[in-house]
Amino acid sequence: MTPGARVAVIVGSRSDLPVMEAATDTLRDLGVAFELRVISAHRAPALLERFIAEAEDAGVTVFIAAAGLAAHLPGVIASRTTRPVIGVPMKGGVSDGLDALLSIVQMPKGVPVATVGVGNATNAALLAAQVLAQSDPDLAARLIAHRQAQAQAILDDPTNAGA
Ligand code: RP5
């Protein structure tokens, strides 16, 4: 486990990794330590259960889980922890991510998963950081700076001149 990891990023398959780079890059930019694992809820359920317990013991506070197709990974993680779980539906399948989106967002009452848009790994990382920032003023300041830089980039865009 990465020392000091506060976020665990779990993907259902290696094929999810390229999209999830946006999440790990964002966490790195914000100075949030994370652990990245490839664990399928269907193919390796015992390993997943063990990892969730290890991650909790190590101090992981937020789980980010990316999955496509049946996309049960975020929900299964949520069934094993009361720490926040953020689900990222992945493109692919018969309806190119809509199947995964509905699977992840339609959790039964009592076991919530916060779901971001299809493939929106960046928002998953930002949401995880926002949760952590509630007890970390330095991280909160970095998030405010990130928002300001985002707004500034729009103001600096030459296509906005004179607006
Ligand atoms: C899900 O099925 C994974 O999260 C991935 O998005 C999708 C396809 O997985 P592979 O067939 O590439 O392993 O479990």
* pLDDT given for residue 163 in this prediction: 62
Element (H, E) at 36: strand 34-38
| Total-model pTM | 0.96
Centre of ligand 1 from the C-alpha of residue 60, in Å: 24
CATH number at residue 45: 3.40.50.1970
* pLDDT given for residue 102 in this prediction: 97
Q: Is residue 151 part of a domain?
A: no
Centre of ligand 1 from the C-alpha of residue 149, in Å: 35
* pLDDT given for residue 160 in this prediction: 84
Q: Is residue 153 part of a domain?
A: no
Q: Is residue 124 part of a domain?
A: yes
Consecutive 10-residue runs of the chain (163 residues): their mean pLDDT?
96 98 98 98 98 98 98 98 98 95 98 98 98 98 97 92 69
- As for how many domains the chain has, the answer is 1
Radius of gyration of the chain, Cα coordinates, nearest whole angstrom: 16
Q: Is residue 123 part of a domain?
A: yes
* pLDDT given for residue 161 in this prediction: 77
Which 3-state string (H, E, C) describes 52-105?
A: HHHHHHHCCCEEEEEECCCCCHHHHHHHHCCCCEEEEECCCCCCCCHHHHHHHH
Q: Is residue 12 part of a domain?
A: yes
| CA separation for the pair 20, 17 (Å, rounded) | 5
Domain that holds residue 108: 7-136
Q: Is residue 143 part of a domain?
A: no
The pocket around ligand 1, CB under 6 angstroms, is made up of: 12-13, 15-16, 40, 67-69, 90, 92
From 69, 76, 90, give the residue whose CB has the most ligand 1 atoms within 8 Å, as the site to mutate. 69
Neighbours of 149 (CB within 10 A): 9
Residue whose Cα lies nearest atom 13 of ligand 1: it is 13
